């Protein structure tokens, strides 16, 4: 029975991973994220037999739709199931709220700016609220429900925003600089189209976070112009060492553009500070100096990917003891689903992972992992290896002390990437993850610390158990920490010391018949 459950979990997970890897749209990644939430709730909440049967039916419908690439339909079934598990009825207004997409042409704004906002939906609502809907677009504080100002009133809009999307224009009000919510609220008006819709007195709401700041657009434009001049001068002089610092500057300058396309979470960005820092780096580069080369502590870097010529960010921690006359161990830390390169530095008890790095003299780098649900496959896997190459180029890294760890999706990534690059890493520490036990033979020479909580409702503990069993059968060096009562998240911070202790005591073992450290993938 255990093996049947395990096979079913791995199969469903691999189907979703494969979809993310091959789909051009981000929808497949959203399906994966919703599926993880669906599974977590299903394993946590109490349901009656009838409720569980309906939730299971919707989950199976979502899996079937996802398998054939019908991602919007899969999302509809998953939203429906999650709503039921949260003890709410799946009404037309809740369906519309789940389907609604709010897309302004910019989310980093200034008072007085005119902004177009498009309203559409990702999937069709089977029972439309009515023929027409009305509502408003309002500005709210980031916390709380108080409306600061109604930005636009929507009268008699077609209820089917999928067939008839709406584009309107708003004016950004004169408010203090900071982050806000732009809230769209829609209600039925006139005659309803079904009895269910007639009984639905709810309101469909969807909010997105926006940033309002005076003078920021001009500052960004000035920084772009200054950067272009310095970049041209460095290219003419062929100063390769300084040119290597340019992506880190470009990324800071373009943060507001990336925010518009959803590439960064604006809640985590201080735009003024980033532009000020970009200006300082540009000025230093213009004088023939790279200020990032001598910087210590926690800061942001970026590189330009050869995969698709995009700027890809990563976060680094350089201990204050760093000395270019010595070599240092490097930890690559992979974030979980929905996170980014900042997760290990800002989350997990406010960046507790950095404390032992400073105390023990470790360099840490955290790649972004591309999309929030990339599972570190495809381009996201290449990003990890590119970040390792960037760190080796910029710092004195001991090639025999390069380590890989990650939590949740990062735990899956830890095993998968090590299996594809078995000659790079000195030791692994996957936390609350899983992988392919049939490929364990590729990394049986790499010592592994495996961490999982036995009360994990998101990634079942059996996912780590089966990997540990496979490793032990092959004679691999494995230490398994199964935390009694440990949930999916808390076990990460609880075992940071164990991770560092494990890395402290291991150096790379050479793979027979291979040149160590080449970075050549093993498929």
DSSP 263-283: SS-GGG--HHHHHHHHHHHHH
**CA gyration radius, the chain:** 25
Residues 6+ apart with CB under 8 A from 251: 258, 300, 302, 311, 313
295-523, which class in CATH? alpha beta
H helices of 202-318, in order, are 216-237, 240-243, 246-253, 255-260, 271-286
Assign 519 to helix, strand or coil: coil
- Bridge partners (DSSP) listed for residue 450: 480
Q: What does each C-alpha distance from 198 to 16, 93, 126, 347 come to in angstroms?
A: 37, 11, 14, 44
pLDDT on residue 513 = 52
Domain ranges (residues) in the chain = 2-90, 97-212, 215-294, 295-523
Q: Which two tokens stand for residue 105?
A: 């042409």
Q: Which residue has the tokens 């496979």?
A: 470
pTM of structure: 0.89
Q: How far apart are CA 325 and CA 490, in angstroms?
A: 38
What are the backbone dihedrals phi and psi of residue 367, each rounded to the nearest 5 degrees, phi first? -70, 165
Q: Interhelix angle for 246-253 vs 271-286, to 10°?
A: 150
Per-residue pLDDT of the chain (523 residues; tens, 9 = 90+): 334 444 455 445 544 444 333 333 467 888 999 999 999 999 999 999 999 999 999 999 999 999 999 999 999 999 999 999 999 999 889 999 999 999 999 999 999 999 999 999 999 887 766 678 899 999 999 887 789 999 999 998 888 899 999 999 999 999 999 999 999 999 887 666 665 655 566 789 999 999 999 999 999 999 999 999 999 999 888 888 899 999 999 999 999 888 877 778 888 889 999 999 999 999 999 999 999 999 999 999 999 998 899 999 999 999 999 999 999 999 999 999 989 999 999 999 999 999 999 999 999 999 998 888 899 999 999 999 999 999 999 999 999 999 999 999 999 999 999 999 999 999 999 999 999 999 999 999 999 999 999 999 999 999 999 999 999 999 999 999 999 999 999 999 999 999 999 999 999 987 665 544 456 676 5
Looking at domain 97-212, does it have CATH number 3.20.20.80? no
Of 77, 45, 72, which Cα lies nearest the Cα of 61? 77
- Nearest-angstrom CA–CA distance, 176 and 194: 44
């Amino acid at each position: 029975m255990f093996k049947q459950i395990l096979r079913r979990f791995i199969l469903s997970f691999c189907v979703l991973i494969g979809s993310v890897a091959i789909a051009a749209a981000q929808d497949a990644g959203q399906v994966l994220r919703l599926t993880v939430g669906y599974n977590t709730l299903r394993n946590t909440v109490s349901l009656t037999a009838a409720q569980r049967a309906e939730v299971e039916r919707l989950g199976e419908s979502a899996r079937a739709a996802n398998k054939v690439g019908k991602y919007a339909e899969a999302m509809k079934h998953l939203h429906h199931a999650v709503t039921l598990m949260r003890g709410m009825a799946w009404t037309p207004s809740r369906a519309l709220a789940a389907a609604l997409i709010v897309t302004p042409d910019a989310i980093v704004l200034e008072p007085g700016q005119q902004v177009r906002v498009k309203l559409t939906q990702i999937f069709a609502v089977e029972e439309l609220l009515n023929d027409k809907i009305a509502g408003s677009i309002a500005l709210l504080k980031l916390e709380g429900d108080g409306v600061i100002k109604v930005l636009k009133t929507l009268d008699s809009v077609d209820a089917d925003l999928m067939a008839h999307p709406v584009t309107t224009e708003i004016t950004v009000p004169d408010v203090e600089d900071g982050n806000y919510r732009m809230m769209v609220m829609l209600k039925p008006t006139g005659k309803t189209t079904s009895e269910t819709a007639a009984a639905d007195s709810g309101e469909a709401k969807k909010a997105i976070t926006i940033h309002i700041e005076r003078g920021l657009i001009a500052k960004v434009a000035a920084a772009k112009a200054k950067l272009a001049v310095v970049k041209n001068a460095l290219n003419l002089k062929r100063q390769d060492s300084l040119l290597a610092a340019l992506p880190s500057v470009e990324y800071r300058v373009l943060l507001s553009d990336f925010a518009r396309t959803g590439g960064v979470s604006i809640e985590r960005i201080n735009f003024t500070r980033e532009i000020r820092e970009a200006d300082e780096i540009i000025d230093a580069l213009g004088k023939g100096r790279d200020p990032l080369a001598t910087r210590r502590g926690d800061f942001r870097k970026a590189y330009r990917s050869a995969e698709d010529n995009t700027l890809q960010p990563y976060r680094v921690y350089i201990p204050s003891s760093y000395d270019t006359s010595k070599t240092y161990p490097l930890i690559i830390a992979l974030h979980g689903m929905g996170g980014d390169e900042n997760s290990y530095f800002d989350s997990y008890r406010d960046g507790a992972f950095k404390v032992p790095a400073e105390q023990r003299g470790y360099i840490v780098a955290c790649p972004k992992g591309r999309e929030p649900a990339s599972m570190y496959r495809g381009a996201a896997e290449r990003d990890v290896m590119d970040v390792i190459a960037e760190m080796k180029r910029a710092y004195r890294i001991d090639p025999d002390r390069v380590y890989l760890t990650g939590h949740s999706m990062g735990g899956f990534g830890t095993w998968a990437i090590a299996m594809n690059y078995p000659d790079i890493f000195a030791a692994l520490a996957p936390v609350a993850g899983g992988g392919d036990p049939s490929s364990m033979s590729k990394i049986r020479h790499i010592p592994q610390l495996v961490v999982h909580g036995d009360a994990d409702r998101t990634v079942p503990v059996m996912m780590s158990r089966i990997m540990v069993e496979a490793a032990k059968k092959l004679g691999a060096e494995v230490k398994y920490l199964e935390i009694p009562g440990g949930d999916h998240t808390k076990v990460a911070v609880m075992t940071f010391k164990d991770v560092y202790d494990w890395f402290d005591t291991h150096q790379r073992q050479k793979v027979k018949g291979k040149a160590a450290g080449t970075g050549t993938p093993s498929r």
